Amino acid sequence: MTEPLFRLLGSPVTPLELLAFVLALWMVGCNLRVNALAWPLAMASSALYGWLFLHSRLYGEASLQLLFIVVAAWGWRQWLAGRGSDGQPLRVHRLGTRQRLQVLAATLAAWPLVALLLQHATDSDVPWLDALPTVGSITGQFLLGRKLVENWPTWLAVNLVSVLLFAVKGLWLTVLLYALFALLSVVGWRAWRRLQALGAAHG
């Protein structure tokens, strides 16, 4: 799985990276349609990406995949049986302004903590660049699990930083994936805003 299958822009692409790429795209497609199949796909692609990132010495991203698997199990349960604050089945909704600021502050506060951990506890050569999408992704996963519209701008920011991170590491197929993710984040943001508006109109 880690032997080169072909080369892209001078860097090897392995069957591991290719399979993770396909599953991750399928997952995002399901998220756009609010289809719960996204969560088992997230678990599978996270396991594969964890293996890939460990092989590439991206320890923050590799560790994050383990957390993603746990959070995906939680998110899957939320989408199937979760309830909103009104006691009704969970539906697409939004945070208030104060809650958005709190989420942003918590994410930015966690960034240097994770970066310093990676810098001192691992041989990562990009601890700060690795740490930012790591903490942003944790935020995004929890927002997605609760069907909050704000997960999409969070993923947009994470994906743009990740494009730079994976370009630095020469993971060009993954660079392409995260560039596509960035575009899909905009699509998802618009789609979920419409869903939220429709839900509010009928609520």
**Structural domain boundaries of the chain?**
6-82+126-197
Axis crossing angle, helix 97-121 with helix 59-81, rounded to the nearest 10: 150
| Residue range 15-60, pLDDT digits in tens | 888 898 899 889 988 998 999 999 999 999 999 989 888 877 777 7
Q: Which one, of 92, 197, 200, lies nearest residue 150 by Cα?
A: 92
16-19 CB contacts, 8 Å cutoff, 24+ apart: 16/48, 16/51, 16/52, 16/55, 17/52, 17/171, 17/173, 17/174, 18/173, 19/48
Tokens standing for residue 61: 């991203």
Q: Which amino acid is located at 59 in the chain?
A: Y
Chain segment 110-150, per-residue pLDDT in tens: 999 999 988 888 778 888 988 999 899 889 999 999 999 99
Q: What is the DSSP string of 61-84?
A: HHHHHHHHHHHHHHHHHHHHH-B-
- End-to-end CA distance of the chain: give it in Å, rounded: 49
- Going by pLDDT thresholds of 50, 70 and 90, the confidence category of residue 107 is very high
SS3 11: strand
Q: Quick one: which H or E segment has residue 136?
A: helix 127-145
- Percent of the chain exceeding pLDDT 70 equals 93
Contact of 115 with 45, CB cutoff 8 Å: no
Backbone angles phi, psi at 14, to 5 degrees: -100, 160
Question: What does pTM read for this prediction?
Answer: 0.82
